[in-house]
Amino acid sequence: MSAELESILEPDPSLVAGLEVDMNGNNDGINGSDANAIPNYGTSIYPRVQLAYQVEHPFGNAGDSATIDSSRTLYAEDIDYVWENGRRYCGDYCMPNDANEQTRQYVLHQAYLKLLDLELTTVQLHNPEHILDIGTGIGEWAIGVAEKYPNCEVFGTDIAAIQPTDQVPFNVEFQIEDAREEWIRPADSFDLVHLRNMAGAFSDWSFIYQQAFACLKPGGYIEIMDFDDHWGSENFLDWFPEGSPVEVMATALREAAILDGRPKGVSHMDQQLLMDVGFVDIHQSRHDLPVGRRENSKFGDDWLFALVTGVEATCFRLLTKYKGWDAESVRDLCDRVSRDLMKMAEDPKRAKGFVVKIRVLVGRKPEMPGQWTAQALGEHGEIRDYSGDESTIESLSRCRSYATETEREAKSETEVEMEPAPPT
């Protein structure tokens, strides 16, 4: 264990309450006898969530056929699973895709449904024909959209095969695809491109938005949903003293993500990135959701579960691969951080500042090539977004000309007033 961590990882019995550690070392589904292949927490942290669908080893036997089912376009040789420290990963992506992570994704899906009053998207869709879900994960969102729009073809893409292969709507198809590569999609064909919980997934978000723009119909929408990962939230870190497990993890995680080339946070939700690609009618909504058990909170338990179980999922590969920490040190730090988060959520005073910040960013592809976007400052200094056709450009140009002329006249009047009086 590194000296950096030894100073903060002394046992603290007062932090144990509320979080059950799996001391039996039970970890169903893990192959081999790796001593590090022990999950940090038992599944009884919260009541076990029964997944609607779960695929742990889609290609466990050599006798499996190359393609699985009509609902999925998969090839076994295209899937690169790697087991590290008891977690299963795909390729070089730093988030796991094993059973524990699938459970976390399911809980997150339920939390988003509650946030949006059981709606799957904030975009108003009218008889959509094609919808694309990038990073579909367990596929719950894509399945829900396919059920809501039975006449629409829904495609869910991911680098891991953890989606169902049967008992899904006939109009949904899951495909193995790395969104970092050029999208092989017909141009001008999709009504909606949807991305959710993809922070830290890509190094070049401009490329992702360009690919989405190309395959969207004129008038089609892109929607990005994500939550601030707390580790980059200064207000959140203010609740923890310098040198605390949470502060140490936040610093290490930021550094590791930069070394990985895929920074954490919500910088990918900058409206300017969509404007640069050509999207119009761009707007972003934000929601502060309480974490933990609170009165009149329908989100708290879900978000607390996702946050606590996400600590190890988010940190393990990044800290071992890019910071060079050993598995025991990372596991101990994750344990301390999770206990601190649980303690904070159960403290009535401190819990008031314990919120998840959800952001939803939406942009629309112009109906015609002449449509445009512009930015201007409002009367209170805020950035305002505009969109329109060529006639609107003319109108705005006239307004700007008038404003410039008015400014010149005001300046001239001021200069006259300030001229010294002639000598008498």
Tens digits of per-residue pLDDT, 90-144?
Answer: 999 999 999 999 999 999 999 899 889 999 999 999 999 999 999 999 999 999 9
Helix (H) or strand (E) holding 324: none
d(CA 162, CA 136): 9
CB neighbour list of residue 224: distance below 8 Å, 6 or more residues apart: 195, 196, 198, 268, 269, 359, 360, 361, 362
Do 404 and 345 have their domain in common? no
The reply to whether 106 and 171 lie within a common domain is yes
SS3 363: strand
Count of structural domains, the chain: 2
Bridge pairing between strands 372-377 and 383-388: antiparallel
Let me know whether 148 and 294 are in one domain: yes
* Domain encompassing residue 407: 384-416
43 Cβ neighbours under 8 A, 6+ residues apart: 22, 100, 103
Tens-place pLDDT, residues 48-98: 333 333 333 333 333 333 333 444 555 545 688 999 999 999 999 999 999
Please report how the helices 140-148 and 99-115 are oriented relative to each other, as an axis angle in degrees rounded to 10. Answer: 40
- The answer on 388 and 360 residing in a single domain is no
Q: Where are the alpha helices (DSSP H) in 278-326?
A: 300-322
What per-residue confidence (pLDDT) applies to 321?
95
341 and 396 co-located in one domain: no
Shared-domain flag, residues 219 and 350 = yes
The overall average pLDDT reported for the chain is 75
The answer to whether the CB of 131 falls within 8 A of the CB of 190 is yes
In a domain, 120, yes or no: yes
Looking at residue 364, what is its pLDDT?
97
Q: What is the dihedral of CA 47, 120, 208, 101, to 10 degrees?
A: 10
Q: Is residue 422 part of a domain?
A: no
User: Does residue 293 fall inside a structural domain?
Assistant: yes
**What is the pLDDT at residue 259?**
94
Which parts of the chain have pLDDT scores under 50? 1-71, 76, 232, 372-404, 406-407, 410-411, 413-419, 421-422, 424
Does 355 share its domain with 406? no
Distance from the Cα of residue 154 to its chain's centroid:
20
Same domain, 165 and 240: yes
CATH number, domain at 120?
A: 3.40.50.150
Both 404 and 337 in a single domain? no
**Same structural domain for residues 353 and 389?**
no
Q: Are β-strands 190-196 and 130-134 bridged in parallel, bridged antiparallel, or unpaired?
A: parallel
- H helix runs in 47-117, sequence order: 99-115
C-alpha 231/C-alpha 264 separation (Å) is: 8
